[in-house]
Amino acid sequence: MLTAKMTSKGQVTIPKNVRDRLGLSQGEELQFCEEKGVFYIQKSVKKSPFDKWVGHLTQLPQLLRIICKTDNCCFSNRASNLHL
């Protein structure tokens, strides 16, 4: 078990091996979660600006086939090989 002392300002130094395991660097935010009286510390993960686009490319092979059939483009063979 690892221990740390709290300063008068409420600051705690997180042991280096814990910082390394969490991938923490200076200035990063942490989240404190409580579950059944036990507190957990985890790295705060910010939402990616790309999260809103997750799942939008599921129809890409069909869209490429439609575009290629109407435009006679050279991507029609590649579109059939996509496995998304």
Predicted local distance difference test score (pLDDT) of residue 77: 53
- Rounded Cα distance, 84 and 81, in Å: 10
pTM recorded for the entire structure: 0.47
The answer to whether 66 and 60 have CB atoms below 8 angstroms apart is no
Q: Which CATH number fits domain 9-44: 3.30.1380, 3.90.320, 2.40.50, 2.10.260?
A: 2.10.260
Annotated domain spans of the chain: 9-44, 52-81
Q: Which residues have a Cβ under 8 Å from the Cβ of 31 and sit 6 or more positions away?
A: 41, 42, 43, 44
For tokens 């939402």, the residue is 47
- Annotate 13-24 with DSSP letters as a single string: PPPHHHHHHHT-
| Predicted confidence (pLDDT) per residue in 24-81, tens digit | 889 888 889 899 999 998 888 777 777 777 777 776 777 666 666 655 555 545 545 5
- Of the candidates 56, 67, 44, 41, the residue with the CA atom closest to the CA atom of residue 79: 67
User: What's the pLDDT band for 6 if we cut at 50, 70, 90?
Assistant: very high
